[in-house]
Structure 1
Amino acid sequence: SFAPHDISVILYLLNEQPNSLSAIGGNYVQRDIADVTLTTMDFPSGVQCHIFVSWLHPYKEQKLVVVGDQKMAVFDDLTAEKLFLYPHKIEWQNRAPIARKADAQVVPVNMEEPLRQECKHFIECVENGWTPYTDGYEGLNVLSILYSAQNSLNNAGLKVTFDKHKSGKVKREGVFIHSTAIVAENAKIGKGTKIWNNSQIQPGAQIGENCVIGHNCFVDSRARVGNGVKLESNIDVWDLITLETHVFVGPSAVFTNDLNPLYPKYGKWLPILVREGASIGANATIICGITIGRWAFIGAGAVVREDVPDYAVVVGVPAEIIGWMCECGNKLKFRNGGARCSKCSRSYKKVDKKVEQIA
Structure 2
Amino acid sequence: MDDEQMERLRAAVKGCETSVFWHPSRTPVEVLRRLADDAEALDVQQWDVYAERGPVAQVETQVAELLGKPAAAFFPSGIMAQQAALRVWCDRSGSRRVAIPDTSHLLEHEDDGPRRLHGFEFEHLTRGRTTATADHLRGLSPGLGAALVEMPLRDAGCMLPPWDDLTALSAAARELGVPLHADGARIWESQPYYDRPLAEIAAQFDSIYVSFYKGLEGLAGAALAGPEDVVDEARRWRKRMGGTLFHLTPFAVSALAGLRDRLPRMGEYAAWARALATEASAVGLRPWPEPPHTNTFLIHAEGEEDAVTERLISFMERERIQPCGGWWAADVPGFVVTEVAVHDAALEHDPAQVAAWLLDVTRG
TM-score (norm 1): 0.24
TM-score (norm 2): 0.24
Q: Which has the higher contact order (CA 8 A, sep 6+)?
A: 2
By percentage of residues, which structure has more helix?
2
By percentage of residues, which structure has more strand?
1
